[in-house]
Structure 1
Amino acid sequence: MSLSTQKSESQTARRDTFGNEIDPVVGFARGSIIKSSIEEAKRLRHGQTVAAKRVQALGPRSIGVFTGNQRDFPVRPEDLNTNCEEWIGPGLYAEELRAVAIEHLGGRSDDGCAVFNRTSAGIVATIAALAGGKPVLSVVPAGDRSHASVVRGCTLARVGLKEVTSDKDWRTHIADCCLVIVTTVTSALARLDDAFTIAVVEEAHKAGAIVLLDEAYGARLRPVLHGGQKALALGADLAITNCDKAGLSGPRAGVLVGRSGLVMAAGAKAAEYGMEARAPIAAAVLRSLQKFDPHHLTQEAAAGQELAAALEAAMGAGVVMRSDLGPMVNEDAVLAIILERASISADALNVVPCEATAALGMLLLADHGILTVNTHGQPGARVSLRLKPTLDALASVGGVSAVVDAVDDCITKVADIVTDENAMKTLILGDFA
């Protein structure tokens, strides 16, 4: 048993609506089809195959991305033989990248910058470099949880994790920690207000702790949609953001900015682990930050709200939850709807909610070109149905009403096979079953 999960396993196991035990690392119940990260990886690989077949048959415009991650690769032709060159390139643009990253995250002129192949990699490396052998305190919005990379980072660093929601007494844990991680906006888009984040930062600094803000979404969502301050203006030592979500076009990478010595330590640890971003990725991060336009985020948010309103009208406001970027339906609620449509009870079922949403996602992708995290999320990603349209997503799949009709159609198709475990397994994992 890892140090990072001792506390969770010593308590009564959490269970979902159907009585399935929830894996404390990923926050959802595993079943007989999606048993571990290995099956999640197989599901992802199958999802990629399904997407490729659709593109080969109908062209790239036949798919709309509803993950909230645009994932372009915005290098320029002149970058290919200069900035993307592995030996010379990083030195050519290092200062330019540092300056634009500092501006984006509201840092200080002498701050450092490091780029990682994923935001998760940056979080893991920072924990490994800066936890100091003590438990990490993770503060998250009420009712939500840390990203799986925080849990796994603590396990790899062999330190404990104290996760506290914003409505609980987080102050009592700060004295025990060298590193405090504050998730300002979670992947479910639950959000802390700036005043609360500042209070955590101030208390942590009084205790001599280092503060990292997980700003994967928050670096843009808070200032652009809610009038908040830029990340490092909140007083933290470090902030990390994702370069392919909430208005940034890609690539998939994480950029860390903050006190130069701490950034250097995290970057060095990432290099030890092979998690640093190589020259072409970092060059694309530079171009992505340079061309960031807040209007793109407001457009995404407006499209998401239009879709949320339509899905609420079809499924009910009590079923559909709204985030800043679009509608969400909890995985338990999805399975409950499927059971109702199939006219069966949960006792007749061998699948768990994450498998129901994975099956729904595969059908949405194959039949309607709607690409979601349910097919393309990495192991540990949330498994609720989340529809966060990127800029051209709605147009690519026929508009808002087409998406609502597709969700209804695919729920019926899952209901038709939900008691057939082999059919569900084939749908979710394909040839990787």
Structure 2
Amino acid sequence: MDSLLELNRVNTAREIIRKKIQNTGRNSIYDLTGLCGGFEICEENLKLIETYVGPAIFSEKLNNAGLSHLSGNSKIHNAVCFNRTSSAILSTIMTISKSFEKLVHYVPEKPAHPSIPRSCKIFGMEYFESDSLEEILSKIDENSFTVITGATMDHKVVSEEIAGKIIAYAKSKNSPVFFDDASGARLRQLYGESPALEMGADLVVTSMDKLMEGPRAGLLAGNKNLVDQIYSEGLKFGLEAQAPIMAAVVTALESFDLNNLKNAFERAEKVDLSVLETEKVEYKKTPTGFIIKNPSEEKLIETALKLLENYGIVTITAAGMPGASKNIRIDFCSKDAERISDEYVINAVLNSLK
């Protein structure tokens, strides 16, 4: 979809949200994106969110909490924060493009998040993407930078077996491995999979607002030398997280509780979607909710905007950034999901589709 049309969609969704809150308050909005995030900062840290004082304090706390969250080893790994996961990816590819000619990207299901191919285009890196293990292995060599997506935009999770094979093969070819684990760092925990750094990835990035209550920011961790180079490049272009974001990320990391995800996981398993089958609506269950698929992109967007205007349900399809998946994803991991029933959500989806 054209970028200006995407922006128009985002602005339309924002106007609907603004009017609903003005008319009926925040409780009339139910953010079911799985990206609702949060921005909690304790009183002590509020006094430190200054341009230079803040990063001096929060960088150390963030490194410790970030490595703990991603199972990093403080002897060989560092963790830093960017203002977006896409910013961390952009800074990584900007740095890597100086040493490698191409990027080889495995995704559990195409397409990949647009931030990776778009960054490659900016810095002139050859880009190859596939969901076939054989194709990916055939493309990896000493001139390639290898990327693995831990979970797709629609929450399809990579298997640890496939990820392990790619990492091992890339290592044999001296190709560094970057794990794009935006939501996967937590989703894969639900399935008992190993953290990316423990599997041998050189770098991993995860989103602080995906399936956890943190701000929209990207946590990058991995090999100290690589992380330092990437962060240094990011600083030149203002891609790094500022003190308020760093403070909120520290809070989110230190307070993260996997049980909240487990509760959403259990609800998603139990939700009865038989009425969707009766109405011939194509859907797919996800680890923490379900997805409506198949209608045209225009129909999905129209439905998502009706969901928002008539029922207060916020989805990525309506309010997400340009390039995000257009399938309507309902995610039960947000606090707002606790305030509405499964029946309310399903009836809202059916009526909006009609």
TM-score range, shorter chain: over 0.9
Q: 2:227 & 2:338 partners in 1: Cα distance? A: 41
**How far off is 1:122 after superposition?**
0.8
Relative to structure 1, the CA distance from residue 55 to residue 305 in structure 2 (aligned partners, 3 Å threshold; closer, same or farther) is: farther
Q: Which letter maps to 2:320?
A: G
Q: 2:332 & 2:44 partners in 1: Cα distance? A: 31
Q: 1:256 & 1:378 partners in 2: Cα distance? A: 21
Give the match for residue 101 of structure 2. Answer: 134
Q: Does 1:286 align with 2:253?
A: no
Q: Is the 8 A contact 2:78 2:223 kept in 1?
A: yes
Q: Is the 8 A contact 2:100 2:145 kept in 1?
A: no
**Greater alpha carbon shift after TM alignment, 383-392 vs 227-236:** 383-392
Q: 1:40 & 1:177 partners in 2: Cα distance? A: 35
Q: 2:286 & 2:63 partners in 1: Cα distance? A: 31
Q: 1:138 & 1:125 partners in 2: Cα distance? A: 17
How do 1:71-110 residues align onto structure 2 when only pairs under 5 Å count? 71-82=37-48, 84-110=49-75
Listed as ranges, the gaps of 5+ residues in structure 1 are 1-29, 31-35, 335-352, 413-433
Q: 1:308 & 1:112 partners in 2: Cα distance? A: 44
Q: Percent identity?
A: 28
Q: Which letter maps to 1:400?
A: D
Q: Does 1:401 align with 2:343?
A: yes
1:324 to 287, 293, 304: 287
**How far off is 1:379 after superposition?**
0.5
Q: Does 1:112 align with 2:81?
A: no
Q: Is the 8 A contact 2:142 2:175 kept in 1?
A: no
Q: What secondary structure does 1:170 align onto?
A: helix
Q: 1:273 & 1:196 partners in 2: Cα distance? A: 35
Q: 1:374 & 1:358 partners in 2: Cα distance? A: 6
Q: Is the 8 A contact 2:32 2:331 kept in 1?
A: yes
Q: Is the 8 A contact 1:86 1:280 kept in 2?
A: no
**How far off is 1:395 after superposition?**
4.1
Give the match for residue 28 of structure 2. Answer: 62
**How far off is 1:272 after superposition?**
2.5
Relative to structure 1, the CA distance from residue 242 to residue 211 in structure 2 (aligned partners, 3 Å threshold; closer, same or farther) is: same
After superposition, give the CA deviation of every residue in 1:373-426 in whole Å (9 maximum; x if it has no partner): 111110000101111123333343x411111111121122xxxxxxxxxxxxxx
**How far off is 1:166 after superposition?**
3.4
Q: Is the 8 A contact 2:104 2:128 kept in 1?
A: yes
Q: Is the 8 A contact 2:33 2:314 kept in 1?
A: yes
Q: Does 1:261 align with 2:204?
A: no
TM-score (norm 1): 0.78
Give the match for residue 20 of structure 1. Answer: none
How do 1:81-230 residues align onto structure 2 when only pairs under 5 Å count? 81-82=47-48, 84-110=49-75, 111-131=77-97, 132-141=99-108, 143-175=109-141, 177-223=143-189, 225-230=190-195
1:367 to 297, 307, 310: 310
Q: Is the 8 A contact 2:207 2:217 kept in 1?
A: yes
**How far off is 1:160 after superposition?**
0.8
Q: 2:195 & 2:275 partners in 1: Cα distance? A: 32
Q: Which letter maps to 1:233?
A: E
Q: Is the 8 A contact 2:145 2:176 kept in 1?
A: yes
Give the match for residue 39 of structure 1. Answer: 5
Q: Does 1:387 align with 2:330?
A: yes
**How far off is 1:176 after superposition?**
5.2
Q: Which letter maps to 2:221?
A: V
**How far off is 1:308 after superposition?**
6.1
**How far off is 1:312 after superposition?**
4.1
Q: 1:253 & 1:109 partners in 2: Cα distance? A: 22
Q: What secondary structure does 1:387 align onto?
A: strand
Q: 1:307 & 1:48 partners in 2: Cα distance? A: 29
Q: 1:201 & 1:171 partners in 2: Cα distance? A: 10
1:356 to 299, 314, 332: 299
Q: Does 1:243 align with 2:208?
A: yes
After superposition, give the CA deviation of every residue in 1:167-214 in whole Å (9 maximum; x if it has no partner): 433212111534111112111111221122121111111111111101
Give the number of equivalent residue pairs.
352
Q: Does 1:274 align with 2:238?
A: yes
Q: What secondary structure does 2:134 align onto?
A: coil
**Greater alpha carbon shift after TM alignment, 378-387 vs 111-120:** 111-120
Q: 1:311 & 1:278 partners in 2: Cα distance? A: 47
Q: 2:19 & 2:270 partners in 1: Cα distance? A: 30
Q: 2:275 & 2:52 partners in 1: Cα distance? A: 50
Q: Is the 8 A contact 1:308 1:320 kept in 2?
A: no
Relative to structure 1, the CA distance from residue 380 to residue 311 in structure 2 (aligned partners, 3 Å threshold; closer, same or farther) is: farther
Q: Is the 8 A contact 1:217 1:241 kept in 2?
A: yes
